[in-house]
């Protein structure tokens, strides 16, 4: 097994995600600026479609920007070496994670999307090291909802989730 494994970002997957995000954001704008002034009742709540369209447009507009930045990124999506993992796979990447900090790893499937959850001994440290308040909030949300601020997806990497999980698990076992 090589001492350093670099897994590149999958630019074609990222481009597809950019286009999908842009399309959904434009759909949200269609509700904002279109001549559609109606209410949607969902679970007993009345939702104004212009407000919902604004929320969708803002959220997916931000996603488009973050995905575009990731598309331009020249660094590998994930580096696995004898020191640990260096996560650069998403907009909410954790950065360097030493093997000693990792308590366990698990596969999660949320909305038909696979994630590799990295449980660390000091989750707040990874949240606090984020420079962006937006990223900190997303990591806090991951921590409170899923029990870890670090969830790596293979969606933007040139590897399958199953293969990535097996590689990380093997390296973790060798280091412990």
Same domain, 83 and 48: no
> Based on the structure, what is the number of domains in the chain?
2
Same domain, 84 and 121: yes
Rounded to 10 degrees, the C-alpha dihedral 166/11/147/138 comes to: 170
Confidence check: pLDDT of 1 > 70: no
Same domain, 127 and 146: yes
Going by the DSSP 8-state scheme, the letter that residue 157 receives in this structure is: B
Cα separations in angstroms, 45 against 15, 21, 32, 81, 154? 36, 26, 19, 51, 36
pLDDT digits (tens, 9 = 90+) for 42-51: 677 777 778 8
Give backbone dihedrals phi and psi of 52, rounded to 5 degrees, phi first. Answer: -60, -40
Same domain, 82 and 67: no
What is the model's pLDDT at position 170?
Answer: 92
Same domain, 97 and 46: no
Q: Which two tokens stand for residue 69?
A: 């930045």
Please give the angle made by the CA atoms of 137, 139 and 143, to the nearest 5 degrees.
115
Q: Provide, rounded to the nearest whole percent, the portion of the chain with pLDDT above 70.
A: 94
Confidence check: pLDDT of 2 > 70: no
Going by the DSSP 8-state scheme, the letter that residue 9 receives in this structure is: B
pLDDT digits (tens, 9 = 90+) for 64-123: 998 999 999 999 999 999 999 999 998 888 999 999 999 999 998 888 888 899 999 999
Instruction: State the residue range of the domain holding 37.
Output: 9-72
Please list, in sequence order, all residues whose beta carbon lies within 8 angstroms of the beta carbon of residue 153, skipping any fewer than 6 positions away.
89, 90, 113, 114, 115, 116, 161
Same domain, 106 and 30: no
Going by the DSSP 8-state scheme, the letter that residue 91 receives in this structure is: T
Same domain, 82 and 168: yes
What's the pTM? 0.80
Determine, yes or no, domain membership for 26: yes
**What size, in residues, is the chain?**
176
pLDDT digits (tens, 9 = 90+) for 7-36: 999 999 999 999 999 999 999 998 888 776
Distance of alpha carbon 31 from alpha carbon 17, whole angstroms:
22
């Amino acid at each position: 097994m090589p001492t350093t494994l670099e897994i590149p970002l999958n630019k074609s997957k990222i481009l597809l995600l950019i286009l999908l995000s842009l399309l959904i954001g434009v759909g949200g704008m269609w509700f904002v600026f279109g001549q559609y002034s109606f209410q949607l009742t969902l679970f007993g709540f009345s939702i104004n479609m212009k407000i919902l369209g604004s929320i969708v447009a803002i959220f997916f507009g931000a996603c488009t920007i973050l995905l575009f930045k990731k598309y331009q990124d020249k660094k590998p999506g994930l580096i696995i070496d004898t020191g640990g993992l260096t996560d650069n796979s998403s907009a909410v990447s954790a950065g360097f994670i030493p093997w000693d900090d990792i308590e366990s790893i698990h596969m999660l499937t949320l909305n038909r999307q696979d994630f590799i959850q990295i449980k660390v001994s000091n989750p707040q440290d990874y949240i606090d090291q984020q420079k962006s308040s937006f990223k900190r909030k997303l990591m806090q949300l991951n921590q409170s909802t899923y029990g870890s601020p670090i969830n790596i997806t293979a969606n933007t990497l040139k590897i399958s989730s199953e293969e990535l999980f097996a590689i990380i698990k093997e390296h973790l076992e060798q280091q412990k």
